[in-house]
């Protein structure tokens, strides 16, 4: 079909096959009772014309569009992309397409997209972001289900899915303890992030349960950057020369720490073990040595968001904040002392 010509309609197919439009619909959708020959004739006609049913007309009639909207404040960054892919994993098999909107953290854009999505009669909406700190709901009285993923709504009647950062922090520290480390420092991002505070909390509680505390008595809050990781390392090594492990709030910090530790003449992991957070492949794998880190399983989180949205669309909504488990990914940077190199 050359551009310019409008696509074939069901009537075109009907005419070519010598039947009525209704019959074509039945043949192509397997409804009603039609003779074998007629079905074949119709299928062939449809094929010949390259007929594809108009989803607009279909949606108009069915009252649903098999489309969901995904609004992200993260500009499709490192966090929202896996969430999106997970959502697609859940929705794709049900033949549901995802409409993507990048609000770029702008209220106006967000409201504009919300309106656009509702005008297009999406069956549901997923809202995702870069941080899990609670945010205002995108709107009130929205006529379709909404699920928040990797961000959370201040309205407890909404369903929000977030990683269990506290448990992730606890996992990291438990792992370090299990490799025999006890003098553990903690360098992380801004205190203003709920995620930093939760990770720190999980780490401190785990240490406390073992009768220990953070090497410097508390976390070093700073930026999510390598630069901060390097700076913090200098401070940490000065304050606690007998340090034997550092738990970092994200992988970038950890990488900075790794470089600074090495350049200070200490070995990772022999002298100081390192654990990061995020499992950002490009950072964690390129780190020297490769970084043990906590994976937030964002794709799985997105998948569950998709499934929950489907359930809500089918009339089984959930509510509240659900914290999904993180997974520790073991690499070289926290290898137990004296363990054989693989």
Give residues in contact with DNA (CB under 7 A).
6, 9-11, 18-26, 28-29, 31-35, 37-38, 51, 53-54, 57-58, 60-63
Q: From CA 130, how far away is CA 151, in angstroms rounded?
A: 7
Interaction between residue 190 and its own copies (CB under 8 A): no
Instruction: Single out the segment in contact with its own copies by CB under 8 A; choices: 21-29, 147-155, 225-233, 303-311.
Output: 225-233
Among residues 64, 102, 57, which one has the least CA distance to residue 309? Answer: 64
Q: From CA 320, how far away is CA 69, in angstroms rounded?
A: 21
The SS3 call for residue 40 is: helix
- Site for its own copies, residues 244 to 283, rule: CB under 8 A: 252, 255-256, 259, 282-283
Instruction: Single out the segment in contact with its own copies by CB under 8 A; choices: 55-63, 197-205, 211-219, 236-244.
Output: 55-63
The one of DNA, its own copies, none whose footprint includes residue 142, by CB under 5 to 8 A per kind, is its own copies
For 189, phi and psi rounded to 5 degrees? -85, -160
Please report the sign of the dihedral spanned by the C-alpha atoms of residue 232, residue 237, residue 239, residue 244. positive
Among residues 282, 265, 226, which one has the least CA distance to residue 249? Answer: 226
Query: Closer to its own copies at the Cβ: 1 or 239?
Result: 1
Query: Closer to its own copies at the Cβ: 25 or 38?
Result: 25
The one of its own copies, DNA, none whose footprint includes residue 157, by CB under 5 to 8 A per kind, is none
Among residues 289, 300, 299, 301, which one has the least CA distance to residue 330? Answer: 289
Binder among 20, 116, 154, 327 for its own copies (CB under 8 A): 116
Interaction between residue 3 and its own copies (CB under 8 A): yes
Q: How far is the CB of 148 from its own copies (least distance, A)?
A: 15
Q: Which residue has the tokens 């995620």?
A: 195
Q: Which residue has the tokens 């990770």?
A: 199
Query: Closer to its own copies at the Cβ: 107 or 178?
Result: 107
Spell out the long-range contacts of 208-217 with Cβ–Cβ below 8 A and sequence spacing 24 or more.
Answer: 210/177, 212/177, 212/182, 212/184, 214/184, 214/185, 214/186, 215/183, 215/184, 215/185, 215/186, 215/239, 215/240, 215/243, 216/185, 216/240
Interaction between residue 135 and its own copies (CB under 8 A): no
Q: For residue 56, what are its two tokens?
A: 């607009």
Q: From CA 72, how far away is CA 102, in angstroms rounded?
A: 5
- Site for its own copies, residues 295 to 334, rule: CB under 8 A: 317
H-helix segments, 95-164: 107-119
Binder among 46, 79, 102, 233 for its own copies (CB under 8 A): 102
The one of its own copies, DNA, none whose footprint includes residue 226, by CB under 5 to 8 A per kind, is its own copies
Query: Closer to DNA at the Cβ: 62 or 286?
Result: 62
User: Using CB under 8 A as the criterion, which residues of the chain lie in contact with its own copies when the complex forms?
Assistant: 1-3, 5-7, 50, 52-57, 59-60, 63, 65, 67, 75-77, 81, 84-85, 88, 97-102, 115-116, 118-121, 141-145, 225-227, 252, 255-256, 259, 282-283, 286, 288, 317
């Amino acid at each position: 079909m050359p551009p310019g010509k409008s696509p074939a309609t069901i009537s075109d197919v009907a005419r070519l096959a010598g039947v009525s439009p209704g019959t074509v619909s039945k043949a192509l959708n397997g409804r009603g009772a039609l003779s074998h020959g007629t079905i074949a004739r119709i299928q062939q006609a449809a094929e010949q014309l390259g007929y594809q049913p108009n989803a607009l007309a279909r949606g108009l009639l069915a009252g649903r569009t098999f489309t969901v909207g995904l609004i992200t404040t993260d500009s499709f960054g490192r966090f929202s992309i896996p969430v999106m892919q997970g959502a697609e994993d859940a929705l794709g098999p049900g033949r549901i397409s995802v409409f993507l909107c990048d609000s770029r953290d702008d209220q106006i854009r967000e409201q504009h997209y919300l309106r656009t999505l509702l005008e297009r009669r999406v069956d549901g909406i997923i809202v995702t972001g870069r941080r899990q700190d609670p945010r205002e709901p995108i709107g009130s009285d929205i006529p379709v289900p909404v699920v928040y993923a990797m961000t959370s709504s201040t309205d407890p009647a909404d369903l929000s899915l977030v990683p269990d950062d506290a448990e992730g922090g606890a996992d990291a520290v438990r792992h370090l303890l299990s490799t025999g480390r006890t003098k553990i420092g903690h360098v992380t991002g801004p205190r203003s992030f709920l995620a930093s505070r939760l990770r720190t909390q999980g780490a401190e509680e785990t240490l406390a349960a073992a009768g220990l505390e953070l090497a410097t008595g508390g976390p070093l809050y700073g930026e999510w950057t390598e630069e901060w990781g390097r700076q913090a390392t200098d401070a940490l090594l000065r304050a606690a020369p007998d340090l034997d492990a550092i738990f970092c709030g994200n992988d970038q910090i950890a990488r900075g720490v790794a470089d600074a530790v090495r350049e200070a003449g200490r070995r990772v992991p022999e002298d100081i073990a390192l654990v990061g957070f995020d499992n950002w492949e490009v950072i964690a794998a390129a780190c020297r040595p490769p970084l043990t880190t906590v994976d937030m399983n964002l794709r799985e989180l997105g998948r569950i968001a998709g499934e929950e949205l489907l359930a809500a669309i089918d009339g089984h909504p959930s509510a509240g904040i659900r914290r999904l488990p993180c997974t520790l990914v073991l690499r070289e940077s926290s290898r137990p002392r004296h363990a054989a190199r693989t």
